[in-house]
Amino acid sequence: MWGFESTHSAAAALALFRENSLQKILIPGFGYGRNARLFIDDGFDVTGIEISETAIALAKKHSGENLKVYHGSVVDMPFDQVLYDSVFCYALIHLLNSRERVKLIRDCFSQLRQGGYMVFVTVSKDYPTYGRGRQLSKDRFETMPGVNLYFYDPDTIRRDFGKYGLVDFVRIDEAANSTDHKLSLKFWYIVCRK
């Protein structure tokens, strides 16, 4: 659906993780591995968490059968007791409800070693579907049947990530997919350090 080209934010996270000599990465919401491929090709020790068996099968087909991907929901973390150097969570947290978002951030931070970094990429209020559909709660909408999105702004980023080593956050544009670079989607790129 999104193509196999990794996102600009994955490349930015790769540069950050390289600069800080990080090697062991956890990717909650692994999907079919389009962002993971970038880290794998750079020699990172990658572990994923993915709810879709179909996505895991696609990832293994394109990245090798030896991928470490736990099958399950991120709301059931942790899946192991490993401490990771880094966490990269792309376009996942905004799909969760309030309780699940808090738990995901806390669980990722607890699996981060001291000095490690975590990067979350999530939709902003400037995203094209903000305010569309049925409102479920403040800044959370059912934008299409079964698709519930929570839209972040600077205040809610500080609220949710502030006690988890928030370093910086910037608004970024990502191409909708690898073939349509004209349609850009508005995200937040959030960096935390333990």
Q: pLDDT tens digit string along 92-121?
A: 999 999 999 999 999 999 999 999 999 999
How far is 173 from 184, CA to CA, in rounded Å?
6
What the block records as the tokens of 48 is: 């994923």
Which domains are delineated in the chain? Answer: 8-17+72-193 (3.40.50.150)
Q: What pLDDT shows up at residue 175?
A: 65
Q: Which residues of the chain have pLDDT under 70?
A: 1-4, 175-184
* Residue 83 neighbours by CB under 8 Å, 6+ apart: 111, 112, 113, 116
Question: Cβ(69)–Cβ(48) under 8 Å?
Answer: yes
Specify the pTM.
Answer: 0.92
How far is 126 from 167, CA to CA, in rounded Å?
22
Q: What pLDDT shows up at residue 97?
A: 96
Q: What pLDDT shows up at residue 10?
A: 95
What the block records as the tokens of 144 is: 């299409």
